[in-house]
Amino acid sequence: MHFSFSFQLTIFFAISSLVILSNPRVTAIEVEEGDGMDFSELRKTVEEIEVVDGHSHNIVAFDSNSISSGFAQAFIVGAFADADAIAFAQTSLTFKRGLRDVAELYGTEVSLQSVEEYRNVSGIESITSTCLKAAKISAILMDDGVEMDKKNEIQWHKNFTPFVGRILRTERVAEQILEQGLSNGSSWTIDSFTEAYVSNTTFTVAKEIYALKSIVAYYGGLEINLKVTKTEAEESLRQVLINATKPIYLLYHRNLVDYLFLQSLEIALTYDLPMQIHTGFGDRLLDLRKSNPLHFRSVLEDKRYSKCRFVFLHASHPFSKEASYLASVYLDFGSAIPRLSMHGMISAVKGLLTLAPINKVMFSSDGHTFSETFYLGSKNAREVVFSVLRDACIDGELLILEAVEAAKDILARNAIRFYKISSNITVPYEENYHYDTIILVNLNSRSNNRRLEEVKENEGRLVCRGARRCYGTAKWYALPFRLVVLKLCQAIVQVARTYAGNLLRTTLYNARTLSRSRQPPSARVLPPLLREPGNSVTPFSPRRDKQGARLGLLRERSPRRPARRFERVSISPKREGSRLSDTAHVLLLSFSSPRLGEGGSPERARLA
């Protein structure tokens, strides 16, 4: 049968339309609710976790001259925007999204005038309390080296969040020393100035500084002259003093800046402090071409600074992928979130994760001047992290439960570990989501004397034969806790750091198979490492249960209570065809929590 060309073309488009209709574009909500993937646990974690803000600045008073242009300044990148720039910024995607978010928080109309009126009526304390409470920030690290009119001191911010730590901006320390001058009125030499700088910085560090920070990128870029001489630094210092007017800025005196930067690295090494580095975009004083983190490579490759702990700020935007290439640095995406468009923010974080490990990517708000910037940073970061990790699951790069752990790391745990924030600041878990029991399996039959201290010293990694790292994956299905433990190394780090002091039991099983538990675990058995006098944990000989499985049982012996048998759990091999050896070691760790219930027996626990 012959059909005309036009008829065939009509049929072609009709069929194409049917194909398109049968495969509609899947939205984020549809993916979350259907398509065989349930992202509700990931969304719940991202929305409810209390974040740790690793980089921010002071909030200023409402009548500060630093915000003379009003609330619109909250959406400007940098501190030197003129009136035209602020006016044009109000048509940006960032401004429109941010204004809607703030208006929704305050319950006002979506207009700049309505938000400003609400702020003025409420007062700065009420506004700050509202914003930081809604942001769910458990800890803030604050760089107070930005000179602003009527800025509130760090102590003031402690009224609104549980923990506020200080970050020391090194260039500002140097500039303040030059402004003060020598007490005897004589002129600075490079030796006297360096001594004063090191002494002043060291004294400040001793007062609980959590990190140093450098904005060397603003002073000519990230390419540091590692061979700068004292003579060159002396001449640069002389030029500073000749042209000195207060406040003093070292902006155009690169040799002195590089010389002091290397001194700062020595201080950071001495006190094991992280060094925050401004990278990527900033205000108009910054030459973006020289702020590419790849320019910093000479420092990273110098053996003298191989032990320095660097974190690149601002997602290094627009050089996020370049930053992810540098293996020895940590990456902070503050400022890129919330100051880019939604697409820009998602692209920036995806760029960081192109090569960088998840446990080296961290949240910060880069909140400053306005209380609302902390809220917007937290809110947008949650949305972006959810979107990025959801896409990683859809692409098959992460399991959903791995994405849940990744969200906790990015939003809180990585910063807690990196900055060594007090163990009292931990990632909170809501009632039905506390870690009750963690099962760790070491497949190395020779390491029957593995101790928790050894695992801590090895940075939370279980070492197998041939120095291979044993990364196992455990799934725990329990009601009502729905507990899931994914990577053993992450679980041990959680034990060693986050739950320090709350460990109640470590138990070693020697068994070929451990059967399914029908009773909840005992939560009162002390580990050998924390054993009180008179207590002991003694293994008993294997026996067979009703199903014929060979069991290794442990009993607790204590003068205060009778012997009690531990629960039994079912474990299957990680890979098809493999099996647990007769001396496979299962380390069972239990934790207590004031909100943790007593009920709920696990249905199964197995290596995936």
Q: What does the alpha-carbon distance between residue 284 and residue 296 come to, in Å, rounded to a whole number?
A: 21
Cis peptide before 480, with omega less than 30 degrees from 0? yes
Report all structural domains of the chain as residue ranges with CATH numbers, in order of start.
47-61+74-418 (3.20.20.140), 431-607 (no CATH)
- Supply 217's token pair: 């990128």
Q: What does the alpha-carbon distance between residue 156 and residue 244 come to, in Å, rounded to a whole number?
A: 33
- pLDDT averaged over the chain? 71
Beta strands 309-313 and 274-278 are: parallel
Q: Which among 309, 362, 369, 358 is positioned nearest to 337, based on CA atoms?
A: 362
* Residue 314 DSSP class: G
Map tokens 């099962």 to a residue: 439
Spatial contact of 377 and 135, defined as CB atoms under 8 Å apart: yes
pLDDT digits (tens, 9 = 90+) for 211-228: 999 999 999 999 999 999
Beta strands 602-607 and 474-478 are: antiparallel
pLDDT digits (tens, 9 = 90+) for 377-433: 999 999 999 999 999 999 999 999 999 999 999 999 999 999 998 744 543 333 332
The residues near 495 (Cβ < 8 Å, ≥ 6 apart) are 438, 452, 503, 589
Q: Which residue has the higher pLDDT, 206 or 138?
A: 138
pLDDT digits (tens, 9 = 90+) for 532-576: 333 333 332 333 333 333 333 333 333 443 333 333 333 333 333
pLDDT value at 497 more than 80: no
Region 336-342: mean pLDDT is 96
pTM assigned to the model: 0.66
Exposed, middle or buried: residue 292 (CB in 10 Å: 0-12, 13-18, 19+)? buried
DSSP state string for 547-579: T--EE--EEEEETTEEEEEPP------SSTT--
